[in-house]
Amino acid sequence: MAGPIAVDQSSFQAKVLKAKGPVLVDFWAAWCGPCRAVAPIIEDLAKEYEGKITFTEVNVDENPFLASNYGVMSIPTLIVFNSGKPIEQVIGYRPKAELKKLLDSVLTK
C-alpha cells in the first residue's frame, strides 16, 4: 500500500515509534494551503520509497497533543523518525527534489 498512513495518538507509538526502519511523519491540517501543495509530493515519494521508508500523516487539528509533543508550531512539518527518535525535520513546503535528498540521506545513515 503506497501512500501515507493516517496515524493518531492511539496508533502513533505502534506505527511510528516502534516501526522497523525510517518513518516520515507529515504533520498537516485540511485548511493549510502549503500542506495541500506538498500532499501530492508526499504521495509520489511514498510510492518511490515503498519498502524503504514508511510514510504517515498526523492531522494536527485532531491530534494537538502529538503536534505539541514534537514541537510542531508551523505546518506542514515533516519529521523523519528512526528507532523511535526524530532524526530530521523540515518545516514548510519543499520541492520534491529537496525532499528526495533528505530521504536519501536518511537511508545512508
The residue written with cell numbers 536519501 in the block is 104
pLDDT tens digit string along 31-46?
999 999 999 999 999 9
Q: Which domain holds residue 51?
A: 5-107
> How many structural domains does the chain have?
1
- Structure-block grid coordinates of residue 87: 532524526
Active site residues: 32, 35
CATH of the domain at 25: 3.40.30.10
Q: Classify residue 17 by its DSSP letter.
A: I
pLDDT at 22: 97
76 upstream amide cis, omega within 30 of 0? yes
Is 15's pLDDT higher than 80?
A: yes
